Amino acid sequence: MSLAIHHSKSALCSERATKRKYIPVILELELLAELQVARRTNRDSEFRKTSVNPGTSGTDYNRPQLLLGVYESSTTHKPPEFKPEILVLISGKRKSGKDYFTDRLIETFGAEKTAILRIAAPIKHYWSVKNNLDYEKMLGTSGYKEQHRFKMVEWSQEVRTKNYGYFNVEAIRMGKAEGKPIWICSDIRHRRDYNWFREFYPDLVKRIRVFATEDVRKSRGWLFTPGIDDGPSECNLDDISDWDLVITNNGQSTDETIPKAVETVIQWHASMNSSPK
């Protein structure tokens, strides 16, 4: 597997998002009623250990909080008071190699210093609790996750529309990011999530796009899925052309390109850390 690095514009995939109307999967009243039942049966008690105030220090950021008010009003979820030294946003299509590069960064900086922010984690966690699904399987690469992906994506879009930054804050919490200098969002996909990070961490964000051809992605198990691969979760960032770093991952040797990409991130971090605060 090889990654050729370009610091210029990305070769964007030709897939374009089709215009579609999303139908809410869960009506607001139904959601509130079912969450109340979940509370009574203690199904979600392990997630609800504290009341959530994302801007308050001391909050437990280790578990997703299933907020009853998530549908009640439009709001912007603000970040916690603590910040990283660098926040790396990694974007790319399914099976492009985002996780592979993320793993190399973790090996370099050390797990004890690195927080991995997976936007999909709180989405999958909630959806698993709500629908009595296997959360561990939802995190994996099996067909189990794909069976539930479409409705899960629809629901997440509804939440993003009404609650700007909700999943970003939950990802920070689940990533146990407090006290860790390196934050890596390994699955930035949606424009709202992307804009939220840039709005609240303007001087700390570096953006990386991992690209692979369709043939290479197919060789890794990718199969085009209507409604997913031509929908917002895969195409929402296609028109961005000014990435800070583009990695072309088309299956050739990684002996030179991956270390160079990692070294670029190291230099970014060193530069930010040496800048006057």
Given this model, what pLDDT does residue 142 score?
Answer: 65
Q: Is the pLDDT of residue 218 over 90?
A: yes
Helix (H) or strand (E) holding 101: helix 98-109
Residue 209 lies in domain: 3-47+63-274
Given this model, what pLDDT does residue 48 score?
Answer: 34
Assign 3-state DSSP to the chain and report helix, strand, coil percentages, each to 5.
40, 15, 45
Q: Is the pLDDT of residue 74 over 90?
A: no
- Domain assignment of residue 157, yes or no: yes
Provide the mean pLDDT of the chain: 76
CATH of residue 13's domain is 3.40.50.300
Given this model, what pLDDT does residue 120 score?
Answer: 86
Residues 71 and 96 sit within 8 Å (Cβ to Cβ):
no
CA atoms within 13 A on the CB side of 188: 30
- Domain assignment of residue 54, yes or no: no
Number of Cβ within 10 Å of residue 226's Cβ equals 9
Instruction: Identify which has the larger pLDDT, 133 or 261.
Output: 261
Q: Is the pLDDT of residue 231 over 90?
A: no
- Domain assignment of residue 224, yes or no: yes
pTM of the entire predicted model: 0.71
- Domain assignment of residue 106, yes or no: yes
- Domain assignment of residue 56, yes or no: no
Token output for 209:
């796009």
Q: What is the mean pLDDT of residues 191-220?
A: 95
**Confidence at 80, pLDDT banded by 50, 70, 90:** very high
Q: Is the pLDDT of residue 198 over 90?
A: yes
- Domain assignment of residue 79, yes or no: yes
* Total number of domains in the chain: 1
- Domain assignment of residue 245, yes or no: yes
Residue 23 DSSP one-character state: P
Nearest to 105, CA basis, from 50, 30, 182, 176: 182
Residues 25 and 154 sit within 8 Å (Cβ to Cβ):
yes
Percent of the chain with pLDDT over 90: 45
- Domain assignment of residue 243, yes or no: yes
Q: What is the mean pLDDT of residues 171-187?
A: 96
Q: Is the pLDDT of residue 245 over 50?
A: yes
Q: What is the mean pLDDT of residues 16-24?
A: 36
Token output for 91:
């974007």
CA atoms within 13 A on the CB side of 227: 13
